[in-house]
Homo-oligomer: A and B are copies of this chain.
């Protein structure tokens, strides 16, 4: 029996060509040749790396096989994420030592360091991976200096995971097979016993941890990437902004195509090493006068922060959120208090449920001098930048955690009065986060005092569902997902029928008293495709997400717009 392979191959090539023309996509084809005949067993859209998918889509448009719109709808936004970070070399050989949660995408190799101070020091001269039980706001300097973060504890919304995603830095969290011996400065990762200083590799896209170095592939932002996003931008209705707290993040966000900053948190500025002592002085102050003295010292620092961000975002809007976290977050743990007075203050500020305590705009109403300082710093920065560059920054001042119209009514008055004391020539908007159910329900009253609303869907999810991120992840929420009580983690994908319905009510009621109110979202959902599609349907003006998610959001926003326009574009090319 003679198999005439050449003929079968010719047949196959012709069939493949026809199939791809028919399906208008690259195909994986299974076939067999028996008795000189070609049998097709199965054909389906080919699995590709993100880079190959982009390349294929762009080429098919070039060849006239599909339209640009169809190319845009074909790319999985989540795949774009891969391209923005280093990856493990697909051809590398390695053994997985342990597996944790894929908390923040990207791969990194570096020496193990077991505390943030060491990471900050050592990270300046060589790549390090910060390894710990979990991280806290005190560890920020070490996280900035490290190539990647590995924690034994915490879930997808733990401090390490959230901050790492914000920084676009690889993170494997909740790695249960990681045990740390802080005294001996050693770690056990699965079967491996390693000392601080030995090299490990983590892949935050898959959650794997490897003992030793692995070859990495650098980020692959190429022409295809830019081409597809260019096409996407032609179609989306949603603007895409970034959540960024530093000039560096702002500049990176802009490179990725961000059209402004939707959330500039000011608390990280308070956490910086050289400022924390002054912030503590402010918190420990015996009265308003003493507090104002400390705030006076913080003012020029905040001003310079804002100047840097305004310059990086010249011509684009910047939404600055005034101080949000409870003040006890800036004090050390009780056992590290330096004197009795501090111990007393720590005890007095202790809260049973800090998530629902004295934070957000409640701080601004209790101690108006704090927000006054921040408003002054914003206005002075705007003036300084305009003088330097000739261009006035587009300033949006945002008050967090408003639940009652009267809160914003008073804070707006304080904001305007303080700004006017500095200058009457600076233009700015005053708005609020919408992150409490009551704010959604009474958005009509609140809108009377707000130029804009920004949905803070992280906190809105916590309050609407009565669910603390810190206490749910890795505990009952994980079980709910495993057992199918919930299909999706509501902190990753917006709970559309619950939280989303409250947002819909807020949009309707907000517009009922202020028709043209600017609406956006700055929760983490602003960087998740399904949630972005919902925001599009809701008619928001923008989504804001971490800088590294901006490309993904641009694509997802375009897909939402195209989906709404229906099947019009499918097959329009070719």
Contact = CB atoms under 8 A, between A and B. Distances in A.
B357 A472 contact: yes
Contacts of A466: 355-356, 401, 403, 435-438, 459, 463
A496 to B, nearest CB: 11
Interface in A348-406: 351-358, 362, 365-366, 401, 403-404, 406
A483 B365 contact: yes
Given A356-B353, A356-B468, A483-B365, A437 B410 contact: no
Interface in A473-499: 475-476, 479-480, 483, 485-486, 495, 497-499
A463 B435 CA distance: 11
A442 B352 contact: no
Q: State how many copies of this chain the complex holds.
A: 2
B464 A436 contact: yes
B354 A404 contact: no
A501 interface: yes
Contacts of A438: 464-466, 495, 498-499
Contact of A497 (B366, B442, B501): B442
A186 B485 CA distance: 54
A462 interface: yes
Interface string A332-359: 0000000000000000000111111110
B403 A465 contact: yes
A135 to B, nearest CB: 14
A424 interface: no
A467 B497 contact: no
A357 B468 contact: yes
Interface string A54-90: 0000000000000000000000000000000000000
A143 to B, nearest CB: 20
A50 interface: no
Interface centre among A354, A410, A471, A499 (most CB of B within 10 A): A471
Contacts of A471: 351-354, 356-358
Contact of A485 (B354, B401, B404, B483): B404
A215 interface: no
A407 interface: yes
A470 interface: yes
Contacts of A498: 403-404, 437-438, 441-442
A441 B530 CA distance: 21
A210 interface: no
Interface residues of A, number: 48
Contacts of A435: 466
A328 to B, nearest CB: 11
A140 interface: no
A502 interface: yes
B355 A501 contact: no
B358 A475 contact: yes
A365 B485 contact: yes
A295 B243 CA distance: 49
B468 A351 contact: yes
A365 B479 contact: yes
A438 B465 CA distance: 6
Nearest to A348: B475
A523 to B, nearest CB: 14
A464 B435 CA distance: 10
Q: Which of A353, A358, A497 has the most CB of B within 10 A?
A: A353
A192 to B, nearest CB: 25
Interface in A388-444: 401, 403-404, 406-407, 410, 435-438, 441-442
A532 B475 CA distance: 38
A471 to B, nearest CB: 4
Given A352-B355, A356-B356, A358-B471, 16 more contacts: A352-B468, A352-B470, A356-B462, A357-B468, A357-B471, A358-B472, A358-B475, A365-B485, A401-B466, A403-B467, A404-B498, A406-B486, A436-B465, A437-B437, A441-B501, A442-B501
Nearest 9 pairs of A and B residues by beta carbon: A356-B468, A353-B468, A437-B437, A357-B471, A438-B498, A352-B470, A436-B466, A353-B353, A351-B471
19 contacts: A351-B468, A352-B468, A353-B353, A356-B471, A357-B475, A357-B476, A365-B479, A365-B483, A365-B485, A403-B465, A406-B486, A435-B466, A437-B463, A437-B464, A441-B464, A441-B497, A445-B497, A459-B466, A463-B464
